[in-house]
Structure 1
Amino acid sequence: MGWSDNSSGFNAGKKWIWIGAAIASALLILCPLLLCLVKKIQKYALQVDKKGKRKAGKSNDLADSIESYDVKDLEADFKGHDIKVFNFTSILEATMDFSPENKLGQGGYGPVYKGILAIGQEVAVKRLSKTSGQGIMEFKNELVLICELQHTNLVQLLGCCIHEEERILIYEYMPNKSLDFYLFDWKKRFNIIEGISQGLLYLHKYSRLKIIHRDLKASNILLDENMNPKIADFGMARMFTQQESTVNTNRIVGTYGYMSPEYAMEGVCSTKSDVYSFGVLLLEIVCGRKNNSFYDDDRPLNLIGHAWELWNDGEYLKLMDPSLSDTFVPDEVKRCIHVGLLCVEQYANDRPTMSDVISMLTNKYELTTIPRRPAFYVRRDILDRETTSKVPDTDTYSTTISTSCEVEGKI
């Protein structure tokens, strides 16, 4: 009995020795880990505290409202350029805290507001949407681009503002909004067509860098107090050297209905992409309707297809907006439709340059170049496909249908 009690006590003691050893081993392993964790927490808390103090000490100036590397980049970008940097408080005051009543429209990467600065100057404030997909690089792209451009038919950039996540551009204010808000007499329309063509020619040929806009359309043509057109919204524009002619891009931006086929389908971008967009816009100005609003039950054609058929039938004046009545000049209308159809041809090499376009629009010589089949031409007999055995002539017609959807952009 005594031996049994001694044996049990010995085993129990041995068991507690093993438990103690296990606990000690665990503590030896956990203690360094706990110490490391505590140090990391302390380090993180210190960083947060420093960051909070830095944020609390920020002023309203731009240099204090963004990370230091952004300040350096902006200073480098603006060196030698007359670009004013606005503080965020002044922008809030100018737009009444981005009041919906001050909203002018929706740009490629965010809304545009009317603002009145403290000095009484009216401005247009483009506020980059936080969910737009345009990052700091696209923002700087537009800044670098616009501050290099000086032309009477381009919207003037006055300054910028960056505050935390806010990225804002400040432009001259255009009191007459954009081209798609108005219908004019023929003289004004023709002047607008000429102005847009001059602005594009400057971008393609006479600016320091060759620039392709990539989103030319009515809502991106703003009108000043004298109804002079100014090309706006360069957030999607692409810069080239004057020696470069084309580029392939994986990121297709712009608006279907205005995009050339080689760009929309293959990502091939060139000045001829803008020429195509200009052709669509020119035809829209002549007829007073948008390319993607031209479908109806008895004539399933887009504007380009409608213009092409009327031209081939010798009835091109029927394309003209009926509201023009007797104010139009028949030769100018014909010339515009002719040039518009040359601009929207299927293949980029067949389209004219903007220099050619201006020459054809402003000179009175007879145009000898015959328009070929346009891109995105929808056949007149598309509705009869199920009731006829006629095989379409693939050498005459293109069956690709243009849509009004957008790829990465806007309205």
Structure 2
Amino acid sequence: MEMRKVFGIVILCILVSPISVKALNLSFNDDILGLMVFKADVQDPQGKLVSWNEEDDSPCGWDGIHCNPRSNRVSQIVLDGFGLSGKISRGLMRLQFLRKLSLAKNNFTGSISSSVVQLAYLRILDLSENNLFGTIPGDFFEQCGPLRSISLAKNKFSGKVPESLNSCVALGSLNLSSNQFSGLLPSGIWSLNGLRSLDLSDNLLDGEIPVGIEGMYNLRAINLRKNHLKGEVPDGIGSCLLLRSIDLSENYFTGELPKTMQMLSLCNELILKHNALVGTVPEWIGEMKSLEMLDLSGNNFSGQLPNSAGKLQSLKLLNVSRNGISGDLPKSMSSCVNLMALDVSHNSLTGDLPPWVFKLGLRQVLFSENKLSGGLKNAFASSLDNSRQKLLALDISRNELAGEIPLAIGDFHSLQSLNLSRNSLVGNIPETVGHLKSLDVLDLSENQLNGSIPLELGGAYSLRELKLEKNALTGEIPTSIGNCSALLSLSLSHNGLTGPLPATLAKLSKLQNVDLSFNKLTGILPKQLVNLGHLELFNISHNQLKGELPSGGFFNTISPYSVSANPSLCGAAANRSCPTVLPKPIVLNPNSTESIPGTIPPTVRHEKKILSISALIAISAAAIIVVGVIAITVLNLRVRSATSHSAATLTFSGGDDYSPSQSTDANSGKLVMFSGELDFSTGSHALLNKDCELGRGGFGAVYRTVLGDGMPVAIKKLTVSGLVKSQVDFEKEVKKLGKIHHPNLVALQGYYWTPSLQLLIYEFITGGNLYQHIHEGSSKNLLSWNERFNVILGTAKGLANLHQMNIIHYNLKSSNILIDSSGDPKVADYGLARLLPMLDRYVLSSKIQSALGYMAPEFACKTVKITDKCDVYGFGVLVLEIVTGKKPVEYMEDDVIVLCDMVRGALEEGKVEECVDKRLHGKFPAEEAIPVMKLGLICTSQVPSNRPNMAEVVNLLEMIRWPSEGQEELV
């Protein structure tokens, strides 16, 4: 109805005489008309524009509208965060005196018209944080002369940045960040010498920074973060003497820092992280005396930090992590009295931990992964009382520190994270750790600590993660652990702990991961542990626990490996039945003549052939067992006869790098285990038991069984025997696969060979496969975004490792990605094509590549060479499957949807974010999800040479993930 009214008014304005128009303007001027036309194209679910009434004499009282008090004409439209959607109407063109148009933080869609920037008086245009999309025409800004500020940030614009920007001669601020702009930086951008702020970050811009930046003498801030820019940082940047903030991080810049930068004495922020810059951190850095933030992390800097760093007395944050910096930190840095965060981790620093660090009152001190030696006592003793109260995070892990942990550690009362792992620390855990009431994370793992866990540890009641594994701790787990009610993860494995598990452990209702393996724990597990409703891992293997496992909850599905090597532990998961309590036998007195209750009457005592009911039951049970044994024996004989007479027995055979073996006879099969002497005999029945079958694929069926030592394994029974190479070639290839060890690859542990039967023995992965998690899991077990990203990254790392060894997978699909108990992915079924006599395309496509939608197009073309790029294609499909939650090919009633085509079409329409799995309910970072989907599409390019290799894929994924480090996990 509103649109009809506006239309009627427009027609009326055209038809009436000039005298009538003049009269009409008294109550309904051009401003009202333009605003009503704009409103007609807008959806307003929150009713923010309810005050906009076309019958009003003036719009100056409407919400979001500001007028010039002299002319009574609309000068500003500010509708930020009004929840509006729809398109930006051309009706705004009637507002001839408009100076500011701000529609930020809404949901406007579509493209924008160049007429918006042609308003004669418009000074400020802010359309940021909407869903506007499309390319911006090259002549878009040709008539933008008066504009002072333009922000199109956080939309979905694509294509090149228009060259016509150089027409905006009065422009002081330009923000095009967080879009999808690509191509080179427009060379004319430096002609805008009035520009004070330039933000083109988080786009896809490439090439080098064009020359001419030295003319930007008014520039205060430049942000080109997170693009694909390369080349050297231009010398001319030092001529921009008013620069306060420089962010060129997350690009591909190379070379050394230009010396002209030392002239930027007003610069507060210099952020160059994650590039490929080289050389030493220059001595002239001390001339940039206004620096408050200096981040050079993730580059290739070497040598020592210069003494001149001590001149940076305004410095609050210094991050030079992940470089090749060596030597000591300069003592002059003790003059940096305003320093709050120091990160020098992942370098090659030597010497002692600098004492001056703890005198400055820092909030964060990160020294992990260096070569520091000496002890902690002197460094901690030198700290001042007031300085100790400020430290929030201390990480000195992965160094060469020795000596004891000082009692003074308890004086850092505000400490939230303490990591001293992977050093050579000795002595007891100081009881003063109980003074750290704010501590979230305590990691003292992989040292040489001894003694018992102090009872006072329970005083650190804010603990969420406690890691003390791989030390020499003894004694019992203190009952005070029950006071740490926030605990999520507890790892005490590989110590010498004794005694029972404290019942107070069951009070930790938030516990998710518990690892107490490889200790000397005894006693019975507390039954109350079944009440821990968030458990995902509970490993008590390799202890001396006894009795029955708790029944119910998590313990109904606990992995057998997690309870193995406890000889007296019983229950289903322990593969050992618990003894039943039988009633006492009836004792008969042959000399008695009385009829005692529970005895046999005298009249029937002489009938010895009459048996008790319990005896009859026992005999019946024995008979059933005998019949069962005979039946299984017959079944085994039949199956063995059907497969091969030579497979009747299993023979262990050793090799140069493998376990010793023993054989039975010359006609038997051959079993080889790559590490350890594992008893395979108890698992042979699984091959005949359908209940043990885990699944079937192009190469054969997979079964689960348990070896003689309680270790579960997965056995693949190959069904391509007619295609398998000779025994010599088969063993040569399998032994190569057996030497592959990578955290994201399923380990091959052995094999069994006869001419007609081949078995491959793998480690057993407890968490099922990725297909089940994505397509068959319940909403309760839905993979979060972080879990999905970790699966994608881990799978990429596993494939990259295979390709580095010239192994092509050929059969990548979600059912071949297994998930372990920690949620990490492991690629399965790799390298099996190497067992075939030739890489025949028909064999590969029909026998192996059984999953529709993952197969690279080159399989259908005989003239194209099959390379590891076919795995990259399958990986790209897998990425889209993980992110969208959809199968590679889905069949509808009258249509077939190919996932790659669907996502590619959505990207072209600017709607790719809508492809993310709806079950995540929007709980995912778009800045990660969208680039990941784009990467998936690049990997599925029809031309193999256009696809990246897997090493490049890993690097790109790590670059996508980096900005999210340190954020809270999305669930």
Q: TM-score range by the shorter chain?
A: 0.5 to 0.7
1:107-256 equivalent positions in 2, closer than 5 A: 107-129=697-719, 133-137=722-726, 140=731, 143-163=734-754, 165-183=756-774, 184-205=783-804, 209-234=805-830, 236-238=832-834, 251-253=843-845, 254-255=849-850, 256=852
Q: Determine if contact 2:802/2:808 at 8 Å carries over to the other structure.
A: yes
Structure 2 counterpart of 1:233, one-letter code: D
Structure 1 residues 179, 59: CA separation in 2 closer, same or farther (over 3 Å shift)? closer
Output the amino acid matched with 1:200.
L
Q: Secondary structure at the match of 2:788?
A: helix
RMSD: 3.3
Q: Which amino acid aligns with 1:109?
A: F
Question: In the alignment, which of 683, 686, 703 is matched to residue 91 of structure 1?
Answer: 683
What is the identity, as a one-letter code, of the residue corresponding to 2:819? L
- Counting matched residue pairs gives 291
Identity of paired residues, percent?
32
Paired letter, 2:888: N
Tell me which residue corresponds to 1:335: 931
Distance in 2, matches of 1:324 and 1:100, equals 36
1:250 Cα deviation after fit: 6.3
Distance 1:322 1:91, change over 3 A: same
Aligned-pair CA distance for 1:149 = 1.1
Measure, in 2, the Cα distance between the counterparts of 1:142 and 1:329: 43
Would the aligned equivalents of 2:793 and 2:957 in 1 still touch at CA under 8 Å? yes
Amino acid at match of 2:788: R
* Conserved? CA contact 1:248–1:268, under 8 Å: no
Higher helix share: 1
The answer to whether the 8 Å contact 1:344/1:351 transfers is yes
Question: Is contact 1:336-1:361 (8 Å) kept?
Answer: yes
Aligned partners of 1:154 and 1:232 also within 8 Å = yes
1:105 is matched with: 695
| Offset of residue 61 of structure 1 | 2.2
2: CA distance, partners of 1:236 / 1:263: 17
Residue by residue over 1:321-377, the C-alpha shift from the partner in whole angstroms, topping out at 9 and shown as x without a partner, is: 1101132111111011100000001100111111221222221499xxxxxxxxxxx
Gap change, CA 1:176 and 1:145, over 3 Å in 2: same
SS in 2 for 1:270: coil
Map 1:1-400 to 2 at 5 A. Answer: 60-62=650-652, 64=663, 82=675, 89-93=681-685, 95=686, 98-129=688-719, 133-137=722-726, 140=731, 143-163=734-754, 165-183=756-774, 184-205=783-804, 209-234=805-830, 236-238=832-834, 251-253=843-845, 254-255=849-850, 256-266=852-862, 268-293=865-890, 295-297=891-893, 300-364=896-960
Code of the aligned partner of 1:317:
E
SS of the aligned residue for 1:301 comes to strand
Aligned amino acid, residue 218 of structure 1: S
Q: CA deviation at 1:176?
A: 1.1
Q: In the TM superposition, what is the alpha-carbon distance from 1:141 to its structure 2 partner?
A: 6.7
TM-score (norm 1): 0.63
Asked whether the equivalents of residues 308 and 341 of structure 1 are also in contact (C-alpha less than 8 Å), the reply is yes
1:238 Cα offset (Å): 4.5
Deviating more after overlay: 317-326 vs 337-346: 317-326
For residues 119-165 of structure 1, give each alpha carbon's deviation from its aligned partner in whole angstroms, at most 9, with x where no partner exists.
11111111123x66442458547623421311100001111223563
Letter in 1 for 2:739: E
Output one character per residue of 1:274-313: Cα deviation in whole Å (capped at 9) or x when no partner.
Answer: 10010001101111121122x3257643111101100100
Provide the residue aligned with 1:4 in structure 2: none
- Change in 2 beyond 3 A, CA 1:91/1:160: farther
Alpha carbons 1:252, 1:264 under 8 Å: kept:
no
Q: Say which SS state the counterpart of residue 331 (structure 1) adopts.
A: helix
Distance 1:231 1:304 in 2: 22
- The 8 Å contact of residues 83 and 158 in structure 1, kept in 2 or not, is answered as no
Q: Which runs of 5+ in 2 are unaligned?
A: 1-644, 654-662, 775-782, 963-971
| Higher relative contact order (CA closer than 8 Å, sequence separation 6+) | 1
Aligned counterparts of 1:229 and 1:336: Cα–Cα separation in 2: 17
Q: In structure 1, what residue type is equivalent to 2:708?
A: A
Preserved contact between residue 818 and residue 827 of structure 2 (Cα < 8 Å): yes
Q: Per the alignment, in what secondary structure is the counterpart of residue 889 of structure 2?
A: helix
Please tell me whether the aligned partners of residues 744 and 794 of structure 2 are also in contact (alpha carbons under 8 angstroms): yes
What runs of 5+ residues in structure 1 fail to find an aligned partner? 1-54, 240-246, 367-411
**Deviations 1:75-118, CA, capped at 9 Å, x for gaps:** 8xx9xx6486865x44324x2x5311111111332111111111
Change (3 A) 1:133 1:223: farther
**CA distance in 1 between partners of 2:676 and 2:709 (Å):** 17
CA contact (8 A) 1:222 1:230 kept: yes
Change beyond 3 A, Cα 1:82–1:119: closer
Deviation of the 1:236 alpha carbon: 3.6
Please tell me the residue identity of whatever aligns with 1:224.
D
8 Å Cα contact 1:211-1:237 kept in structure 2:
no
Shift of 1:273: 0.8
| 1:19-61 Cα deviation digits (max 9, x unpaired) | xxxxxxxxxxxxxxxxxxxxxxxxxxxxxxxxxxxx79x8642
Question: Take 2:650 and 2:944, find their aligned partners in 1: how far apart are those partners?
Answer: 50
The question of whether the paired residues in 2 share the 8 Å contact of 1:104 and 1:112 is answered with yes
Whole-Å separation in 2 of the counterparts to 1:304 and 1:196: 19
Task: Please tell me whether the aligned partners of residues 66 and 164 of structure 1 are also in contact (alpha carbons under 8 angstroms).
Answer: no
Instruction: Provide the C-alpha distance between the structure 1 equivalents of 2:858 and 2:678, rounded to a whole number of angstroms.
Output: 39
Higher strand share: 2
Do 1:194 and 1:358's aligned partners in 2 also have CA atoms closer than 8 Å?
yes
